[in-house]
Amino acid sequence: MDVEIRRSLLGHFTPRDVWQPGKAPVFVRGEGCFVYDSDGNRYFDGVSGLFCSQLGHGRTDIAGAAAAQMSKLAYMPNWSAASDAALEASALIAERLPGELGSVFFVNSGSEANEAAMKFAIQLHRSRGQPQRKKFITRDHAYHGTTLGALSLTALPAYRAGYGDLLLPGVFNVPNTFRDRDRSGAALPSLDETVRLIEREGPDTIAAIFAEPVQNGGGALVPDPTYWPELRAICDRYGILLVADEVITGFGRLGTWFGSHHVGAQPDMMTFAKGVTSAYFPAGGMAVKPAHLDEICDVQGLYQHGSTWGAHPVAMAVVVANIRAMENEAVLANVRALEPHWAGLLNDLASRHPIVREVRGAGLMHAMELTRDRDNGATLTENQINLLVRERIPAAFRATGALFKADNRGGAMIVLCPPLNVDAATLTAQAGNLDRILTLVSDDIAKLD
């Protein structure tokens, strides 16, 4: 079979010069934390596919659960009906949700989950007699998806370019938590700015604030411990709904079921996707407080949203198999146990490579921010960052057989999010690969003009 990249398949976010035979790998198989391309090369999957393969690749138990569900009942809709698989999946998730969250609405991706949350927020405010609350707040460098509603939330100019006035007008960005550590007084600068924006726009026009417990865009931004409780208080003061986007942080990434548990967040709504199925099937969802759902139904009869594939029975069977496997294999405890080992390895690498400006993160979600030379303060230009992230760092990944993610949001980053059932020896071996990657990239940086 000819497995070269061809014209018939369109790549996602892929420049045309990369979409050429021999340039973009074709993956054919996966096993545990490793994947294999069509030339038989083996790679460590250091970003869990795309932050989603919590349990790694090639698991026959999860594949078996999907096959059994397909044979038993492949499909019936979640419209005025349920499947037994959907009921079981929602119950398993609801048991693990933080605070008063307890009702789960299933969709098929993170973007759709955020669309669902935007609509739920609008409907809830309408039910409360506040139809003017239609604005949303998100944070600089945050990625919340690509459908037009979710893209309106995404605070990354490169992703929004070209869609301009088609995006929702009432979305405003505030600083993320990166600069909070430079604070001089007691208050967090990012939250001061958030309050200023709310006051300026008019508190009773704002529907919701969307934020990730640990933000991926900008490089694993772990907030100050006071951030989420204070953000909760601000939302309460102004009647604004707080939405935790847990598309990456949900399902164990930080060593807790949800990132909200890790950072002490008490959101009104949560969105998730990716790890809910460990990527064995597409699924996503939104969790809300049952009392909020009642408020909507009392006034409007129903939450006015849905889709054909939402709560697809096969996806639901995979959710169930995934959560049970994570529980049986103590995956959250594994993440917590490995965190100091992995962070220690990464910090050791940073101390030996002056191109590493900083390592940050929590659980098994880390980013290495690169610079030109940490010791003499020389930095990289925007063009140099783009060259490194688009070409040089990915080439170093392929040369060493370790696939992490190169990211140019907020600097030149190597993003590290291995599968959550990885073991200590594998991480130690991959730190060796990272050492080689950093040496190759240091050589590249030394040759930059």
Ligand X SMILES: Cc1ncc(COP(=O)(O)O)c(C=O)c1O
User: How many angstroms separate the Cα of 146 from the Cα of each of 12, 136, 150, 159?
Assistant: 11, 16, 6, 8
Please report whether residue 361 would count as binding ligand X according to CB under 6 A.
no
Q: Which two tokens stand for residue 303?
A: 């939450």
Q: Minimum distance from CB of 359 to ligand X (Å)? A: 20
Site string for ligand X, 103-132 (x = CB under 6 A): ------xxx--x------------------
DSSP summary character for residue 409: T
Please report whether residue 218 would count as binding ligand X according to CB under 6 A.
no
Among residues 241, 247, 286, 365, the one that binds ligand X under rule CB under 6 A: 247
Q: Minimum distance from CB of 222 to ligand X (Å)? A: 15
Among residues 46, 49, 98, 145, the one that binds ligand X under rule CB under 6 A: 145
105 vs 387 by CB, closer to ligand X: 105
Among residues 45, 115, 140, 245, the one that binds ligand X under rule CB under 6 A: 245
- Longest C-alpha distance within the chain, in Å? 66
User: How many angstroms separate the Cα of 88 from the Cα of each of 75, 93, 311, 370?
Assistant: 16, 9, 11, 44
What does DSSP say about strands 171-174 and 135-139: parallel, antiparallel, or unpaired? parallel
Please report whether residue 369 would count as binding ligand X according to CB under 6 A.
no
**Which residue is nearest to ligand X, using beta carbons?**
110
140 vs 245 by CB, closer to ligand X: 245
142 vs 316 by CB, closer to ligand X: 142
Q: Minimum distance from CB of 190 to ligand X (Å)? A: 17
Return d(Cα 274, Cα 325) in angstroms, integer.
16
Residue pair 413/47 in contact by the 8 Å Cβ criterion: no
Q: Minimum distance from CB of 298 to ligand X (Å)? A: 30
Q: Is 120 helix (H, G, I), strand (E, B) or coil?
A: helix
Strands of the sheet containing 365-370, edge to edge, are 356-362, 365-370, 412-416, 405-407
Return d(Cα 300, Cα 353) in angstroms, integer.
59
Would you tell me how many other CB atoms lie within 10 Å of the CB of residue 236?
A: 12
Please report whether residue 248 would count as binding ligand X according to CB under 6 A.
yes
Q: Among all chains, which residue has been given the structure tokens 């006051």?
A: 199
47 vs 346 by CB, closer to ligand X: 47
Stretch in the footprint of ligand X (CB under 6 A) among 76-84, 244-252, 320-328, 359-367 = 244-252
Please report whether residue 287 would count as binding ligand X according to CB under 6 A.
no
Total chain residues near ligand X (CB under 6 A): 13
Which parts of 37-56 interact with ligand X (CB under 6 A)?
none
248 vs 265 by CB, closer to ligand X: 248
Residue pair 121/208 in contact by the 8 Å Cβ criterion: yes
Please report whether residue 267 would count as binding ligand X according to CB under 6 A.
no
111 vs 256 by CB, closer to ligand X: 111
Among residues 57, 144, 360, 374, the one that binds ligand X under rule CB under 6 A: 144
93 vs 247 by CB, closer to ligand X: 247
Return d(Cα 204, Cα 306) in angstroms, integer.
28
Please report whether residue 438 would count as binding ligand X according to CB under 6 A.
no
Site string for ligand X, 315-344 (x = CB under 6 A): ------------------------------
Amino acid type, 442: S
Q: Minimum distance from CB of 30 to ligand X (Å)? A: 19
H helices within 202-247, ranges in order? Answer: 227-238
Which residues, 6+ apart, have CB-to-CB distance to 53 below 8 Å?
30, 45, 278, 279, 419
Please report whether residue 173 would count as binding ligand X according to CB under 6 A.
no
Angle between helices 110-127 and 290-300 (to 10 degrees): 60
Among residues 140, 180, 212, 339, the one that binds ligand X under rule CB under 6 A: 212
Residue pair 240/170 in contact by the 8 Å Cβ criterion: no
Residue pair 232/212 in contact by the 8 Å Cβ criterion: no
| Site residues for ligand X per CB under 6 A | 109-111, 114, 143-145, 212, 216, 245, 247-248, 273
